């Protein structure tokens, strides 16, 4: 993923109320109220979605299921981020992921 796209994504997400970035040597993750809703990979952004939204997100061009540990409970989808166009396509999914995780962290 081009660094300018990653930088633009991070700047956008950090303008959202309550979103924080957690950086490690290997990756940048985004949290809301301390709960993970997205993280960057070398090729895109992985979002945590409600199962119904996950199925729709997998219809996005070049998206794929992200399975660090394969299983039926996987709720992660990797969306490509090769261009500003991809970023614009990913933003609504990032918003859904943020809302989903925030609503689940409220109790």
Domains identified in the chain and CATH numbers: 3-105 (3.90.1150.30)
Indicate the average pLDDT of the chain.
90
What is d(CA 63, CA 46) in angstroms, rounded to the nearest whole number? 10
User: Above 90 in pLDDT, residue 71?
Assistant: no
Q: How far is CA 20 from the centre of its chain?
A: 13
What is the model's pLDDT at position 67?
80
Residue that has been written with the tokens 């219809």 in this structure = 59
In this prediction the pTM is 0.90
């Amino acid at each position: 993923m081009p660094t300018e796209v990653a930088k633009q994504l991070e700047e956008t997400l950090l303008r959202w109320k309550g979103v924080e970035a957690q950086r490690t040597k290997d990756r940048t993750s985004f949290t809301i109220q301390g709960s993970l809703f997205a993280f960057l990979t070398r090729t895109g952004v992985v979002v945590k979605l409600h199962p119904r939204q996950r199925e729709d997100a997998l219809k996005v061009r070049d998206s794929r299921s992200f399975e660090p540990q394969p299983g039926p409970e996987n709720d992660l989808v990797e969306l490509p981020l090769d261009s500003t166009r991809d970023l614009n396509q990913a933003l609504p999914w990032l918003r859904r992921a943020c809302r989903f995780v925030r609503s689940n962290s409220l109790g």
